[in-house]
Amino acid sequence: MLQLAYIRDNKEKVVDGLNKRRFAKAAEIIEEVIALDDQRKSTQAKHDQVLSESNALSKQIGMLMREGKKEEAEGVKAKTADLKTEGKELGEILSNCEDKLKELLYLIPNVPNNNVPEGGGADDNVVVYEHGTTPELPENAVPHWELIKSYDIIDFDLGNKITGAGFPVYKGKGARLQRAMINFFLDEAIKEGYVEVQPPIVINEDSGYGTGQLPDKDGQMYHIGEENFFLIPTAEVPITNMYRDVIVDVKDLPVKHVGFTPCFRREAGSWGAHVRGLNRLHQFDKVEIVEIHHPDNSYDALDRMCKHVQGLLEKLGLQYRVLNLCGGDMGFTSAQTFDMEVYSAAQKKWLEVSSVSNFETFQASRLKLRYRGDDKKMHLLHTLNGSALALPRILAAILENNQSEEGIRIPEVLVPYTGFDMIR
């Protein structure tokens, strides 16, 4: 959430940044925020003045009664009663103004970093790096949704029977390969200094608001009505919320966590080849890295996190590219995001497998996640997170790009985890 002081001090920058995002009526909404804040301030001043006058008159009543000036005391009582009524009315106006202001601030996305390119959608994202070459597949190569049937390693029909579309069942070597990737990704993160956590996969509403999933992604999250809980869309949410309302000691920075969780998203997408098979699911597994940094260091951290993800893709032997997302394609909370995509040789398309983002102070403002600076004042920290990695499309690319006449070759780094080097 953007801070009011930042909006006031950087109004033109905020409007320009929101326009870069293609955020509708940015200037009008920012003016409305400032006007509401002005109203809040003036109402607060009047409310404080009325309460001060009321308290001062209340003290006079006792003195007048002790002096035998009952009639004068009754007059002061009546005036005090009027002031209390006025104070109550002003309090209600103030509370209503604060609620409207908070609701409006929750609807405003983060301001993009200066290095975020202009653009309205995916076609305007900028490729900043490419690695690897497209594998040569046999003439009878098929996409992964055909391979999984041939080798009986993932069953979508069974998942549909148990739950519904978008909830696959991993079987045999498919399940073991899935588990192997999870353990490999966790081990690689731990080598890089990340501390592993196993967070809950169900969150409360405060956690959803804390990292910005609410109210922005309300319709995309699975809601548990009676308890007002939500199934997590990513481990970023519970892990980052571990530090809600926390003042982090500077000597404990950076904070680095990794966690594996299942993830749940209602928006599995429309019909078509781009969402077939593992390309888009309602439930999927993901290993997430989360970092908390001093503002001076967060963009160096973003670069290192991207390189960590790239290293995983190279160890898996996958062709990939890195995209700097344009303003119109970034997530609501992000100040800058780099996407990593792997190339699916069988589908002949790029598949997003990781997003690594710096949120700057946007989440920390909601979370009240702070540190005490050298000036002895409280300042907001920067939060970052990245997929390292999301499993479904990685699995799809491994299956498709490593298919041969003999079977599907397992990447060498995963063999110690799977216990086999081929799926036949």
**Residues contributing to the annotated binding site for ATP:** 265-267, 352-355
From its phi and psi, is residue 399 left (phi > 0), alpha (psi between -120 and 50) or beta? alpha
User: Which residues contribute to the annotated binding site?
Assistant: 234, 265-267, 288, 352-355, 385
Q: What are phi and psi of 236, to 5 degrees?
A: -50, -40
Give the whole-angstrom CA distance, residue 373 versus residue 365.
Answer: 16
Which pairing describes strands 195-196 and 255-264: parallel, antiparallel, or unpaired?
A: parallel
Q: What are phi and psi of 340, to 5 degrees?
A: -110, 130
| SS percent in the chain: helix, strand, coil, step 5 | 50, 20, 30
Give the whole-angstrom CA distance, residue 195 versus residue 314.
Answer: 23
User: Which residues contribute to the annotated binding site for L-serine?
Assistant: 234, 265, 288, 385
* H helix or E strand, kind and range, residue 155: strand 154-155
Give the whole-angstrom CA distance, residue 84 versus residue 86.
Answer: 5
Give the whole-angstrom CA distance, residue 395 versus residue 354.
Answer: 13
Scan for tokens 């991207």, then name that residue: 306
For 7, how many CA atoms within 13 A lie in the half-sphere containing its CB?
A: 25
Pair 208, 237: CB distance under 8 Å = yes
In three-state secondary structure terms, 372 is strand
Give the whole-angstrom CA distance, residue 366 versus residue 380.
Answer: 10
